[in-house]
Amino acid sequence: MFRRFAPLAAGLALSLLVSSTAIAEAAMLNVSYDPTREFYRDFNKAFEAQWTKDGHQATEIRMSHGGSGAQARAVIDGLNADVVTLALQADIDAIAKKTGKIPADWRGQLPDNNCPYTSTIVFLVRKGNPKHIKDWDDLTKGDVQVITPNPKTSGGARWNFLAAWAYAQRKYPGDDGKVKAFMTKLYQHVPVLDTGARGSTNTFVHRGIGDVLIAWENEAYLALQKLGPGEFEIVTPSISIKAEPPVALVPGNADKDGNAEVAKAYLNYLYSPVAQKLAAKHFFRPFHPDDADPEDMTRFKTLDLVTIDDFGGWAKAQPHFFGEGGVFDTIYKPQQ
């Protein structure tokens, strides 16, 4: 029996060796969130080509995707990210605070608050818009079922919540009670709160639950493209929020791995015409609209956009709305 296992053990040692040498070749890791998969697949190819063309050693860009909060947690627990490209400023702040691997003043090291691309929150409805959904108001009418993830666990869901809040605030200026009543009514129309944005998209698109999905604009267009344009339509509300997914260097890891140079170049390249064009192609609103394909730009309807700064920034909005005992806890009651 031992004789039979000897080759196995040898093979094992060999494969371990092979895998460890594979890890040793030049590579850098971008820890990102779910909806950026398609964009970064294209962007990484473009960057890798440019990087070698500029006379540098070929470097493989590795990707890790997941829920934004979970990804930040993984970096805090030691996932060796050279750059992070997450959904929320608060998630990068958490890494900076807990590990010190990112300087506290990271926001502002790159243009536009470290956001090379932005997005907003729109509605995805079923073909022909049978429930005649035009604006936030329509989500609270009749038997309309709304699909949105849980703002406690999902970054995207927080943008959804704040976008709806912005609408209610404009409709009932200065009347906090009515705003809260509107939000309560809205969440009474939510049959299921998924934990993440992709989960909600799957619930709406694949399981066929709900009449309207509140989603990232880029997610909505992606779902439209991937799952058949004939089945769904996108409705842009009158007012929404400018969702700013930030990017940041993680010097604490990149310096140690000797990846600082490539990681910085990687982030700067996000603002290049090539990257901006790719961002628009993948349904993100580019920082430099002039670099994008004009045809891609026609998708982005103009609408009133509030920003997180209108809510006092994430540092204030996060605990106020989504913290333990915060606004969301007071307005949301799970349905029986």
Q: Is 80 in the site for another protein (CB under 8 A)?
A: yes
Residue 126: in which H helix or E strand, if any? strand 117-126
- Quote the least distance from Cβ 79 to another protein, whole Å: 4
DSSP secondary structure of 70-111: HHHHHHHTT---SEEE-S-HHHHHHHHHHH-SS-TT-TTSSH
Q: Is 5 in the site for another protein (CB under 8 A)?
A: yes
- The correct pick among 37, 131, 180, 299 for binding another protein (CB under 8 A) is 37
- Quote the least distance from Cβ 48 to another protein, whole Å: 14
Residues 109 and 242 sit within 8 Å (Cβ to Cβ): no
Q: Give the pair of three-digit tokens for residue 125.
A: 């409805």
Instruction: Judge residue 137's burial from the number of C-beta atoms within 10 Å of its C-beta, 0-12 exposed, 13-18 middle, 19 or more buried.
Output: middle
- The correct pick among 65, 171, 178, 180 for binding another protein (CB under 8 A) is 65
- The correct pick among 54, 77, 105, 295 for binding another protein (CB under 8 A) is 77
- Of 215, 148, 139, the C-alpha closest to 182 is 139
Q: Give the pair of three-digit tokens for residue 154.
A: 């999902």
Q: 92 vs 118, 150, 230, 253, CA distance in Å?
A: 16, 20, 38, 14
Q: Is 254 in the site for another protein (CB under 8 A)?
A: no
Q: Is 209 in the site for another protein (CB under 8 A)?
A: no
Q: Is 223 in the site for another protein (CB under 8 A)?
A: yes
Q: Is 222 in the site for another protein (CB under 8 A)?
A: yes
**Residue in the structure block whose two tokens are 């605070």:** 97
Smaller CB separation from another protein, 179 or 223: 223
- The correct pick among 46, 63, 235, 274 for binding another protein (CB under 8 A) is 63
Smaller CB separation from another protein, 23 or 104: 23
- Quote the least distance from Cβ 202 to another protein, whole Å: 8
Strands 212-216 and 83-85: unpaired
- Quote the least distance from Cβ 210 to another protein, whole Å: 18
User: To 10 degrees, the CA torsion angle through 208, 209, 215, 218?
Assistant: -10
Contact letters (x/-) for another protein, 6-35, by CB under 8 A? --xx-xx--xx--x---x-----x----x-
141-178 as b/e: b if 16+ CB within 10 A: eeebebbbbbbbbbbbbbbbbbbbbbbbbebeeeeeee
Q: Is 281 in the site for another protein (CB under 8 A)?
A: no
- The correct pick among 10, 17, 58, 227 for binding another protein (CB under 8 A) is 227
- Quote the least distance from Cβ 288 to another protein, whole Å: 27
Q: Is 99 in the site for another protein (CB under 8 A)?
A: yes
**Residue in the structure block whose two tokens are 């070698």:** 52
Q: Is 198 in the site for another protein (CB under 8 A)?
A: yes
How many residues belong to the site for another protein (CB under 8 A)? 33
Smaller CB separation from another protein, 158 or 198: 198
Those residues whose C-beta lies under 8 Å from the C-beta of residue 55, and which sit 6 or more positions away, are: none
Binding-site ranges for another protein (CB under 8 A): 1, 5, 8-9, 11-12, 15-16, 19, 23, 29, 34, 37-38, 62-66, 74, 76-80, 98-99, 198, 202, 222-223, 226-227
